[in-house]
A and B are shown apart, each in its own frame.
Chain A
Amino acid sequence: NAGVTQTPKFQVLKTGQSMTLQCAQDMNHNSMYWYRQDPGMGLRLIYYSASEGTTDKGEVPNGYNVSRLNKREFSLRLESAAPSQTSVYFCASEPALGSHEQYFGPGTRLTVT
């Protein structure tokens, strides 16, 4: 039982490049989330998926897109990376929206130069 896994662990991009961050969970959870963590800002919600087939914007969605590929997988795409997107990205899952306890992956550290 691996919980929430994220790939890659580290990534360096040049401005304008694109990439997809992958997230998978094996806990049969319905809801999944993408956060970014920046110094002094805590964790901010980028996008979430309350259940398979639905996605919604969070607090800071600009510059990102998401896909809920199936119940297990939720990917985050940066179409044209910018230095402001340098951050640590965390994926999380929850049994259902509002069940209160989220389980986090280990994070992806992204640097955009």
Chain B
Amino acid sequence: DQQVKQNSPSLSVQEGRISILNCDYTNSMFDYFLWYKKYPAEGPTFLISISSIKDKNEDGRFTVFLNKSAKHLSLHIVPSQPGDSAVYFCAASAGWAGGTSYGKLTFGQGTILTVHP
């Protein structure tokens, strides 16, 4: 039962254009969402996050949008740069209402982003 899904295994964009990575979730107990970025042969690194009380969070070129009614979040990268080429994982965390799931991250399968010069 995949509670967090990234349905696009890969995405290819031109440098300077917008990259949009999507993520869907099924567990209504999730109340915090994160995006991690992973380069080959390295561990994931935190990129940006959003609480369920917000619908948008912005950090420089990166913006995360949350649509709770649709159980969908997206990461926008504008403008995209070749150095953004990596695997992007979305992750979700349940609050206290999640019981034994509290605080633990559930990851999606990842989307490989390639930004062409």
Contacts and interface: CB of A to CB of B under 8 A. Distances in A.
Contacts of A61: none
A42 B89 contact: yes
A100 B49 CA distance: 9
B46 A105 contact: no
A62 to B, nearest CB: 17
A23 to B, nearest CB: 11
A97 B109 contact: no
Nearest to A105: B43
Interface string B43-54: 111100100000
The 8 residue pairs across chains A and B that have the minimum distance between CB atoms: A98-B103, A104-B43, A42-B107, A97-B103, A43-B107, A42-B109, A104-B44, A101-B46
24 contacts: A4-B43, A31-B103, A35-B107, A41-B109, A42-B89, A42-B109, A42-B110, A43-B89, A43-B105, A45-B104, A45-B105, A58-B104, A98-B95, A98-B103, A99-B103, A100-B34, A100-B49, A101-B34, A104-B36, A104-B45, A105-B43, A106-B43, A107-B42, A107-B43
